[in-house]
Amino acid sequence: MTIRLRDLAACFEGVIPSIIATAAPDGTPNISYLSHVVLVDDERVALSNQFFSKTATNVRANPAAAVLIVDPRDGGQYRLDVTFEQTLDSGGLFEEMAIQLRATSTQVGMGAVMRLRGVDIYRVRAVQAVLAPQPGQEVSSRDVGSQLMAAATVARSVSEAADVGSIVDAVLDGLHQAFSFSHAMLLLKDPAGERLVTVGSRGYDRSGIGSEVLVGEGVIGTAAAERRPVRVSDMSRVRRFSSAVHASSDEENRTRTIALPGMPDAMSQVALPMVAHGALRGVLFVESSERLAFTKGDEAALAVVAMQAAAALALAEAEIGEGPSSGSIAVDQPVMTGRSFRVVHYAYDDSIFIDNEYLIKGVPGRLLMHLLRIHQREGRTEFTNREIRLSEELRLPDIKDNLETRLLLLRRRLEEKAAPVQLARTGRGRIRLELAGLALLEEAAGRTEG
Amino acid sequence: MLIPQELAAFMASPVMIILGTRDDALVPEIARAVGAVVHREEGSVDLMVSEWQWPQTMANIRANGQLAVTFARPSDYVSYQVKGHATIVPTTAEHTDLARRYMESMASTLGELGLEQRIVAPWLVDRDLVALRLSVQEIFVQTPGAKAGQLIERQS
């Protein structure tokens, strides 16, 4: 039986090192391990050219080489008869390998060492299974049809969702139900462009809503910076830069930073850029404690979901005007039945503390303060997005584009902290403040101590 | 050439051993060895290879003897490559014993790195064991990084 390269996709996940043998024109052989072998198509593979300079020299004089790849699921070995064709130092394939290398090497602190010089393309003339005493399982490619169906299921529920919050929920619930991926996060880009903010997650102890990742940092930040999917199949040797951060509310109060959720024992991760109208909107991130949890096919299906979610979110943000209010119509509910609570606003970073607990900072913090002030002045609890957009007091040139997202972030964070003030969405473009008691507003000038 | 003490100890420790040869048309071939016996003073290394699993490598050694061997520690990728001329020598009881011990210690070393026995089994095969004696002429550092490929010693 002829073995097709595409049936050996698992061998190219970078879990078990591959091997290459070459020979110099004088007949001296050379044997070396390889860091990256990439499946290009059924006839070609690509090797990263970083360290194995003797290999690179040899194939330029004698293009015949042998490559040994290993299936990480059963240890099965396959020998490829290859011929060196050319070196690429630019283009899609080169970029893809360079990104993959950067994403993994920045985390092991080898960013500078692991620079990709070029990608060597080899034509594969024959594929042969190496004999083994107990032959492994029959090589089978994973069912691409099921991934396509799962993507369609998620796409359907995303397309039914009408507001930012429902879209985020449709994506994350869909990943769990249709793909059985239980640990996922959705992050949206801050309009300033330097950071991504978590607006929803599934599977973690804490939701991490409001936590931030810098563009360019780690797997998530690299996917955002490069606008390409980044996939890691074996993190066992990749140091987790965030694992040392202890997530506690004491820590949040002290640093005014919410810790990014994460699996301490993650082995596989995939991050998909969310792009719409040519602009990066965010990143969809999925992880697993299993090696090789995500195949190239999963990556493709998730990429489609991420793009569709980006388009739906862009559309939801662009919608102007209000729908009818649901529930108790426009009657300002009587409030102040419970005890009063203290809301402190720090102007220098717009951070908000409610009864000494850190809530949020930045634009969502300013928004909450704005709504509470109006409420104090006018006793009103119902607001429309339009009046917020037009507000003189907020003076936010960029708020128009991301108001829905900011409100969602604020609403979810208030929910998670079980704060005495909550934000409810009462219809398209309409929100309501729900207060459990009297809010005592306070402006603080400086920074808090320790 | 005298093999440095440190390198000799490294080659005999639980490290992965991969072999490169070529046929008369300069087509390269890959194989794995299951253990090495270092004769420091003679400057030679005996390598145990399954002829059943790697027949082309054996054919290449019989035809021209040109051999390159890389020893790589799986925990940190520290690697050395030695090159020279190899011949097939009679397999002794010492060779067979050593191969058995090597396969056990290698399986346990890889096990500590999270690789199950059933995964590593296809790489550790001693069926139709043959001993190759490599007369070392060149030694290179092969550890990934700036020094990769650097020559340490060459027989003058």
β-bridge partners, A354:
A343, A357
pLDDT at A223: 93
What the block records as the tokens of A416 is 């998670």
Same domain, A118 and A265: no
Are A76 and A162 in a shared domain? no
Instruction: With beta carbons less than 8 A apart as the criterion, state whether A158 and A171 touch.
Output: yes
Q: Is the pLDDT of residue B145 over 90?
A: no
Residues A371 and A234 in one domain: no
| A249 at interface of B, judged by CB pairs closer than 8 A | no
- Model pLDDT, residue A419: 94
| DSSP code for B121 | G
Cβ pair B52:A131 closer than 8 A? yes
pLDDT at position A335 is 52
- Find the CB nearest A19 among B18, B83, B140: B18
Residues A165 and A291 occupy one common structural domain? yes
Q: Is position A137 within any domain?
A: no
Q: Are residues A309 and A349 in the same domain?
A: no
pLDDT at B114: 80
Residues A153 and A242 placed together within one structural domain of the fold: yes
A164-179 helix and A399-416 helix, angle to the nearest 10 degrees: 60
Going by pLDDT thresholds of 50, 70 and 90, the confidence category of residue B138 is: very high
Q: Is residue A18 domain-shared with residue A102, that is, in the same domain? A: yes
* pLDDT of res. A111: 43
Q: How many Cβ pairs within 8 Å bridge chains A and B? A: 115
Chain B: give the shortest CA distance to residue A265, in Å: 13
Q: Is A104 on the interface with B (CB under 8 A)?
A: no
Q: What pLDDT is attached to residue A239?
A: 41
Does a structural domain hold residue A334?
no
User: Is beta strand B66-72 parallel, antiparallel or unpaired with respect to B16-22?
Assistant: antiparallel
Residue A136 forms part of a structural domain: no
What pTM did the predictor assign? 0.68
**Smallest Cα distance from A418 to chain B, Å:** 42
Percentage of chain B beyond pLDDT 90 is 79
Its domain, for residue A212, covers: 144-321
Is the distance from CB of B54 to CB of B127 less than 8 angstroms?
no
Put simply, the answer to whether B29 touches A21 (Cβ < 8 Å) is: yes
Best CA proximity match to A126, nearest among A66, A180, A166: A66
- pLDDT of B69-127, one tens digit each? 999 998 888 899 999 999 999 999 999 999 999 999 999 999 888 888 989 999 999 99
Q: For residue A277, give the CATH number of its domain.
A: 3.30.450.40
Query: Of A104, A130, A156, which residue constitutes the final position of a domain?
Result: A130
Residue A350 sits in the same domain as residue A397: yes
pLDDT truncated to tens, each residue of chain A (450 aa)? 578 888 888 888 777 889 999 999 999 999 998 877 888 888 999 987 665 578 989 999 999 999 999 998 889 999 999 999 998 888 888 887 777 766 655 444 444 445 677 889 999 999 999 999 876 554 444 556 788 899 999 999 999 998 899 999 999 999 999 999 999 999 999 877 789 999 999 999 888 999 999 998 888 999 999 899 988 877 764 543 333 334 466 777 777 888 888 888 888 899 999 999 999 999 999 999 887 788 888 999 999 999 999 999 999 888 766 777 765 544 455 555 678 999 999 988 889 999 999 999 888 999 999 999 999 999 999 999 888 888 877 766 555 568 888 899 999 999 989 999 999 999 888 999 999 999 999 998 766 543
pLDDT of residue A397: 59
Which of A28, A31, A35 is best to mutate for the B interface (most B CBs within 10 A)? A31
Tokens standing for A195? 């950071």
Question: Considering CB atoms only, which of A20, A29, A77 is closest to B22?
Answer: A29
Beta-carbon contacts of A211 under 8 Å, excluding residues fewer than 6 positions away, are: A197, A198, A257, A258, A259, A260, A261
Q: Do A65 and B69 touch (CB under 8 A)?
A: no
Q: Which domain CATH number covers A69?
A: 2.30.110.10
For residue B19, give the nearest of A31, A75, A134 by CB distance: A31
A75 reaches B (C-beta below 8 A): yes
